[in-house]
Amino acid sequence: MIPALLHPTLVAVAATVDATAEVETVAPTGNPAHGDYQWNFAFRMAKALRMNPRALAEKLAPQIVHPAIRKVEVAGPGFINLTLDDAWIARTVAAQVTEPDVGIAPEGAGRTVVVDFSSPNVAKRMHIGHMRSTHIGDALVRMHRASGWTVIGDNHIGDWGTQFGKLIVAYRNWLDPVAFQADAIGELERLYVEFGNRAKDDPSLGDAARAEIAKLQKGDPENTALWREFLSISMAEFQAVYRRLGVRFDETLGESAYRDMTDKVVEDLLAAGIAEVSEGATIVRFEHDVAIVRKKDGADNYTTSDVACVRYREGRWHPDRIVIVTDMRQQRHFQQVFEIARRLDATDAELVHAWFGMLVLPDGAVPSTRGGNTIRLVDLLDEAVRRARAVVDAKSPNLDEAERAAIAEAVGVGAVRYADLSQHPQTNVTFDWDRMLSLDGNTAPYLLYSHARCASVLAKALRPEEGQEAPDLGAIVIGDPLERELLLALARYPEMVAAATRGYRPNQLAEHLFEVANRFNRFYHDLPVLKGGDARASRLALVDASRRVLRHGMEILGLSVLDRM
C-alpha cells in the first residue's frame, strides 16, 4: 500500500517545520508528467506556517528520501510530485502477487463486521428491485474479508409484519389451488396483489387483515402454520437465486427473530427516559421529528425491531462495525435507529447505513411487485445468459457444449452483476437491458476476457513436451513505458481495495480493474510476450501478475472467473 508505506517518511519531513495539522497522505496524480503521486502538504500548510507555499515545498522536497522514490519535484505553486523507482515497483508487485492477500493490508485483522444485506420481503419473488442490495452487500462482504475482517453476512429478510395478515386473508378466500401447486411463490404474489386491488374498494378487508395478524402475533396455531409455509416457499425461491448469483450468507435472521425482544426495548427506552407515551403511542423525540416505537394498538414496529437487532448483534458478536445495505428511502429510519441505539448505549460498534440509489425503469418508475411493473431476477439472468450464449457459440464453436454453457452462465450473470457494481452506489440507476447485457467497454465480459487472455498466454508459454510444468517467469524488468504503467496499476491494487472498502464503494474497485485490463491490453497489443526475446521471461511474469490481480479483484466483485472463453 504505497501511500501508507510513504506516510512515516512524510510525517517525519513535516515535523521539521513544526506542522501541527494532520499530515495528509499522497494522492495519485493520474498524469505521468506530474509523477506518480502528489503531496499537497506544503501547499495546504504554507498559510498556517506564514510561508510562501513554493518556498515551503522547496524546503521539504529534498528531505523526502525513501527507497520507493526515485525523483522528487516541486511543481506549480507548491505541489510536491513523487516518482516511484522502477525497480522498486517491479519488486513490490512481484512480492505482492504471490502472497495470498495480494498485498492488501489486513486493516480488519482482529475486527468483526456484520453486513446486513439483500433482505427481501417474504412471499414475493426476487425481482430487479432486489438486485442492488444483494450485489453491493455481497461485494462489501468480500471486500471486508479481503482486508482481514471477520465478516458475518446476515440476510435480514422481511418475514414479519402486516403483509402476513393480508396474505392470510387472501389465501383463505381466493387461493387458486392448481396455480399454487404449479408455482407456489407466483400464486402468493398474485394473492398479495389481489388483496391490494380488492382492499381499495372494500375497507373491511383491512380490518380482517389486522385481525389475522393479531392472531398470528399471539401464536394462533393455524396462522402460524400458514406463516411457516409462506416462509419456506419464499426461502426456496430466494435460495435458487442466491445459488445462481454465488451469494451466501452466514446468517438469515429475519425480522421475526427479534419479535420477542422488542417488548424489552420499549420497556428500557421508557425506563431510561428515552421514550415517552404520547397520545397512546410510545415515541422517541428528535430535533425535527419523532420515531414511533410502539403504535397506539400496542404493536411494535420496524424501528423497535431494528433497535432490538442492534442489541442482539452486540450481544452475539461484539462487532466493531455494523453495515446495513438498503436503498436510499430508509436513510431517516436508520438515522433514528442508530441514534436510539446510541442513547440506549446498545453498542460501541460503528453503525453504518450504506444506502444506495434507486433502480428505476426507463419511464422513471420504481419497479415493485404491487405495481406489477417489475422483472423477475431469474428472467433477467436467463436473458443475460441467453445473449452471452449466442456470442460464445459464434466465437468459440470449438468448445464443447458443457463448457460453452458454463462460460455463458459466468458471462451473463457476471455482466448483470458488474453493470450494477460498476456504478456509484449512491446514484440512481436506470434499468436498461442493453446496458446490463453489453459485452464491451467497462463490463464483466471485457474483464473476464482480459483475464482469460492472460491465462492463455501463460498456457502457451508451457512446453509440456519438454516436461515443463509452469511457464518460465523471470524477474520483472521495466523496459517500456507500457510495462511501467501496467505495473503501477498492479502495485496500486491493494490501496484501491482499501479505499473502496473504506468508502463502501465497490465501483472504485471496478474502475481500477478496468484500468488494469486496459493497461494490460495496451501492453499486450504493442509488445511481444512469447516472442519477446530477452524480455520474454519478464513479460511473462508481468502477464502472470496481471492475471492474479484481475482474478482477485473479479472474485471480490463476485464474478466467476474463467481461464478460457
Q: Where along the sequence are the contacts to ligand ARG (CB under 6 A)?
A: 116, 119, 121, 156, 158, 306, 309, 324, 326
3-state secondary structure 475-509: CCCCCCHHHHHHHHHHHCHHHHHHHHHHCCCHHHH
Residue 309 beta carbon to ligand ARG: minimum distance, rounded to whole angstroms: 6
If the CB atoms of residues 310 and 488 are measured against ligand ARG, the closer one turns out to be: 310
Angle between helix axes 302-317 and 331-343 (nearest 10 degrees) is 60
Q: Which three cell numbers stand for residue 161?
A: 409484519
Residue 121 beta carbon to ligand ARG: minimum distance, rounded to whole angstroms: 5
Residue 66 beta carbon to ligand ARG: minimum distance, rounded to whole angstroms: 45
Query: Which residues, 6+ apart, have CB-to-CB distance to 159 below 8 Å?
Result: 121, 122, 231, 234, 254, 255, 256
If the CB atoms of residues 306 and 483 are measured against ligand ARG, the closer one turns out to be: 306
Residue 265 beta carbon to ligand ARG: minimum distance, rounded to whole angstroms: 14
C-alpha radius of gyration, the chain, whole number: 28
Residue 556 beta carbon to ligand ARG: minimum distance, rounded to whole angstroms: 23
Residue 122 beta carbon to ligand ARG: minimum distance, rounded to whole angstroms: 9
If the CB atoms of residues 252 and 326 are measured against ligand ARG, the closer one turns out to be: 326
**Nearest Cα to 167, choosing from 255, 235, 237, 230?**
230
If the CB atoms of residues 25 and 336 are measured against ligand ARG, the closer one turns out to be: 336
Query: In this structure, are residues 454 and 547 in contact, taking their beta carbons and an 8 Å threshold?
Result: yes
Query: In this structure, are residues 347 and 313 in contact, taking their beta carbons and an 8 Å threshold?
Result: yes
Residue 158 beta carbon to ligand ARG: minimum distance, rounded to whole angstroms: 3
If the CB atoms of residues 198 and 333 are measured against ligand ARG, the closer one turns out to be: 333
The most distant pair of C-alpha atoms in the chain lies apart, rounded to whole Å, by 86
If the CB atoms of residues 103 and 254 are measured against ligand ARG, the closer one turns out to be: 254
Query: In this structure, are residues 543 and 451 in contact, taking their beta carbons and an 8 Å threshold?
Result: no
If the CB atoms of residues 156 and 548 are measured against ligand ARG, the closer one turns out to be: 156
Angle between helix axes 377-395 and 221-245 (nearest 10 degrees) is 20
- DSSP type of residue 367: P
Residue 370 beta carbon to ligand ARG: minimum distance, rounded to whole angstroms: 13
**Nearest Cα to 134, choosing from 159, 110, 153?**
153
Distances (CA, A) of 234 to 122, 157, 204, 318: 6, 10, 28, 30
Residue 441 beta carbon to ligand ARG: minimum distance, rounded to whole angstroms: 32
If the CB atoms of residues 191 and 323 are measured against ligand ARG, the closer one turns out to be: 323
3-state secondary structure 409-454: HHHHHHHHHHHHHCCCCCCCEECCHHHHCCCCCCCHHHHHHHHHHH
If the CB atoms of residues 300 and 306 are measured against ligand ARG, the closer one turns out to be: 306
